[in-house]
Amino acid sequence: MSAQILTVKMENIGNLFKAIAADQKLYLPLEQAGQVQFLPYDPADDSQKVRLDVLNTVRSAKDLFFPQSENMVAFKKQGKKIDIIENREKVEAFTVFGVRACDARSFDILDRVFLSEPVDVSYAERRARGTVVTLACNEPEETCFCETFGIDAAKPDGDITTWIADGLLWWQANTNKGVKLTDKLLSVDAGLFVDSTGEAKALEEQQEKIREIISQLPLHGLSLEYFHKEELKTIFNSPKWQELSEACIGCGTCTFVCPTCQCYDIRDYDTGNGVQRYRCWDSCMYSDFVMMAHGNPRTSQVERFRQRFMHKLVYYPANNEGIFSCVGCGRCLAKCPSSMNIVKVAKTIGGEANV
């Protein structure tokens, strides 16, 4: 490891959080009503429960860059005069701490959608102002299969990568934003970190342990070799889609917990004092998705079901250098009420046995 490695004692991690939150908003995995989500950290609120031990938040860190709902613009009409009111949320600098390797990789997938021309200015602004601090997965779960996509849970990407090992939080800056945040923290409290660059044996052992756990998970070795651009028509016309879709109830849960889904709808709402235009997440699993004047182009559940997984496994990689639109976080495996998920689809369509 050539980059500088810093450490802070886990018993002092609260001081680290306070130092980050001193001049910007900090999002942490916090437990609220029995669920863990990325929420704003308040140093003055002792009731907040930070849960760095929880592998996956209910929804991913995608929310902070592509919110579930956001204002776009408002209109106010007086006679024939229409005033356009800019009321998008003002984005200030923020840091999100505790992002797992799978969720960190999802940003690359989303960037290819929202930062391509025409650039989504709201997403771009949040990406520019947000600093991502990732956290290695000490105990990957049975639903994890990030390794399938070349993701290393023992060394996640991010502006800063952190690990928890030997009673310490290990800290490594990877990008200019990461270095900037690190330097700022050191300027505020020179004693916050200890330089442990030459003493990373415990960290290396932790990484080896994580990779060993991954090698023994049920989904280790999952292959997606079958899903090539050349097989598009063959996959699309597979009779197996009918059987697979029969279990799907079209609830959309898989799309809302997915860190890479990017479908949204734009709507106008009459507030009684004008019109608010906003956008919100949508799901290709819904019967009114992409509804047009003449109706919905996908009128059956099997068509909608197929569309979702064709996009993840065929369409997106065909247009993005073979990169799949999935990061193996396992949320859809854990949350689907009918136990239908992308792994079952991949194995069935690919000719393998079901999970």
| Residues 56, 124 within the same domain | yes
In a domain, 355, yes or no: no
| Residues 150, 234 within the same domain | no
By C-alpha distance, which of 309, 315, 318, 317 is closest to 346?
Answer: 309
What is the pLDDT, as a whole number, of residue 296? 57
| Residues 60, 38 within the same domain | yes
Cα(5)–Cα(197) distance, integer angstroms: 4
What is the pLDDT, as a whole number, of residue 115? 97
| Residues 283, 137 within the same domain | no
What is the pLDDT, as a whole number, of residue 189? 84
* Domain final residue pick, 188, 215, 242: 215
pLDDT per position as a tens digit, 130-159: 999 999 999 999 999 999 999 999 999 999
| Residues 193, 255 within the same domain | no
Phi, psi dihedrals of residue 52, rounded to the nearest 5°: -75, -10
What is the pLDDT, as a whole number, of residue 353? 40
**Following DSSP, what letter does each residue of 93-156 receive, concatenated?**
PEEEEEE-HHHHHHHHHHHHHHSSSSP-HHHHHHHHHEEEEEE--SS--TT--GGGGT--TTS-
What is the pLDDT, as a whole number, of residue 174? 96
Cα(279)–Cα(269) distance, integer angstroms: 11
Note the pTM of the prediction, 2 decimals: 0.92
In a domain, 354, yes or no: no
In a domain, 221, yes or no: no
Kindly report whether the peptide bond that precedes residue 140 is cis, defined as omega within 30 degrees of 0: no
Q: Which two tokens stand for residue 292?
A: 């047009």
What is the pLDDT, as a whole number, of residue 354? 41
Is the separation of the CB atoms in 207 and 154 below 8 Å? yes
Containing domain of residue 142, as a range?
Answer: 6-215
| Residues 152, 265 within the same domain | no
| Residues 210, 280 within the same domain | no
In a domain, 222, yes or no: no
Is the separation of the CB atoms in 146 and 327 below 8 Å? yes
In a domain, 97, yes or no: yes
Q: Domain count of the chain?
A: 2
Which residues does 249 contact at the CB level (< 8 Å), separation at least 6?
337, 338
In a domain, 224, yes or no: no
Which residues does 61 contact at the CB level (< 8 Å), separation at least 6?
27, 38, 96, 99, 103, 132, 259
What is the pLDDT, as a whole number, of residue 228? 80
- 57 burial class (0-12, 13-18, 19+ CB within 10 angstroms)? buried
Consecutive H or E run containing 165: strand 160-165
* Domain final residue pick, 215, 237, 255: 215
What is the pLDDT, as a whole number, of residue 355? 42
In a domain, 82, yes or no: yes
| Residues 77, 37 within the same domain | yes
| Residues 100, 247 within the same domain | no
pLDDT per position as a tens digit, 232-257: 899 999 999 999 999 988 898 999 99
* Domain final residue pick, 164, 186, 215: 215
What is the pLDDT, as a whole number, of residue 1? 43
| Residues 271, 210 within the same domain | no
| Residues 153, 233 within the same domain | no
Is the separation of the CB atoms in 326 and 313 below 8 Å? yes
Query: Roughly how many angstroms between the first and final C-alpha of the chain, as a whole number?
Result: 38
Regions of the chain with pLDDT less than 70: 1-2, 290-298, 352-355
| Residues 185, 233 within the same domain | no
By C-alpha distance, which of 314, 313, 146 is closest to 219?
Answer: 146
In a domain, 1, yes or no: no
